[in-house]
């Protein structure tokens, strides 16, 4: 990832983000959903949002939610971001191309 607001340098992580990374890696170990990600999985933090996430070489992204490793979705047309359940709540307000994308992944 080349965006300077995203880092994988642990010295940039605060105590909160380190704890989030711990929970994320525990979810990665404990859940069968690790298959959500492909090769070259890395740990990242968005410096602007404070979100900690895993991403693979194809930019598939996963985050921890209530102890589970879940896909973090980014729709291709308008760029809606979130977990699939949250995005489905916004489905009716999405652009038709984003609706088509959501239908393809559910």
Exposure string over 13-40, b if 16+ CB within 10 A, otherwise e: beeebeebbebbeebbeebeeeebbeee
Q: Tens digits of per-residue pLDDT, 48-75?
A: 999 999 999 999 999 999 999 999 999 9
Query: Where are the domains positioned within the chain?
Result: 1-71, 75-106
Q: Tens digits of per-residue pLDDT, 77-90?
A: 999 999 999 999 99
For residue 72, what pLDDT is reported?
93
Indicate the pairing of strand 42-46 with strand 52-55: antiparallel
Cβ–Cβ under 8 Å, residues 82 and 98: no
pTM (2 d.p.) = 0.83
């Amino acid at each position: 990832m080349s965006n300077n607001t995203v880092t994988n340098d642990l010295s940039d992580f605060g105590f909160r983000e380190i704890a989030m990374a711990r929970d994320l890696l525990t979810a990665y170990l404990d859940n069968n959903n690790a298959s959500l990600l492909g090769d070259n999985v890395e740990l990242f933090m968005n410096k602007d949002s404070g979100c900690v996430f895993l991403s693979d070489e194809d930019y598939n992204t996963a985050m921890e939610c209530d102890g589970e490793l879940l896909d973090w979705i980014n729709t291709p047309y308008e760029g809606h971001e979130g977990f699939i359940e949250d995005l489905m709540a916004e489905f009716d307000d999405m652009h038709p191309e984003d609706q088509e994308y959501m239908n393809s992944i559910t």
